[in-house]
A = this chain, B = another copy of it.
């Protein structure tokens, strides 16, 4: 997935790398119209560019995904998510595929990468180990490197997940993972509940929403966990909104 790409050559390069590594589902979030038009009409553009889906925001684009991996370097950001060095990503992705999950790999715009808000939709941030003197990679090259790593290693079960801050993921026995769309529904319901309960003033709403997204992704509930929490918060909210309704 590309968030607001600006250079048609880079869009084309990402599409080509996807074709090279056998992927076909490209999504573009809030693209700038001229470069997007120009990339799609380029001579020799891979077919997957034609079929790419457009959405206006990242939350919608990743709604069906169970593991959303942001990408970027750490020069200007200190993400609150787990940081996964790219050589360790394949093991994580392999396990997620094994338990029936759907994965999104998200690249920010060439100008500033993923924003703090974009990152709040991500379960973790994959970082390509680059030189401190020149950490920032070209978008098309970064995509090629990430897709190569996943294509070459995601299916090999021998890749361990050594060291580093571990990303907590339920083992496969814990049932199918929860997709981002349901996490967002839950987050929305919790937010309404907070307001309904007078938990915090309306001015705090954006900050709370951001923290909540991160929290839910860090917890990584499975689909069944989420279903239960939804049921709980629906009930709580209804009660808050109908204080006079007779108790069962």
Contact = CB atoms under 8 A, between A and B. Distances in A.
Interface of A: 9, 13, 16-17, 19-22, 46, 86-87, 128-131, 133-138, 140-142, 144-145, 148-149, 151-153
A16 B133 contact: no
A111 to B, nearest CB: 14
A7 to B, nearest CB: 11
A128 B141 contact: no
Contacts of A9: 9
Given A9-B9, A134-B46, A141 B16 contact: yes
Report the 4 A-B pairs with minimum CB-CB distance, sorted nearest first.
Answer: A141-B144, A22-B131, A19-B134, A145-B148
B144 A20 contact: no
Given A129-B151, A140-B140, A141-B140, A20 B87 contact: no
Contacts of A151: 129
Contacts of A20: 128, 130-131, 134-137, 141
Contact of A13 (B133, B141, B145): B141
Question: How many copies of the shown chain assemble into the complex?
Answer: 2
A87 B137 contact: no
A144 B134 CA distance: 13
> Which of A19, A20, A135, A136 has the most chain B CB atoms closer than 10 A to its own CB?
A20
A151 to B, nearest CB: 7
Contacts of A131: 19-22
A54 to B, nearest CB: 23
B87 A22 contact: no
Contacts of A128: 20, 148
B141 A86 contact: no
A145 B20 CA distance: 12
A13 B134 CA distance: 13
Contacts of A140: 13, 138, 140-141
A132 to B, nearest CB: 9
Nearest to A141: B144
A17 B133 contact: no
A140 B138 CA distance: 10
A206 B137 CA distance: 43
A152 to B, nearest CB: 5
Nearest to A86: B152
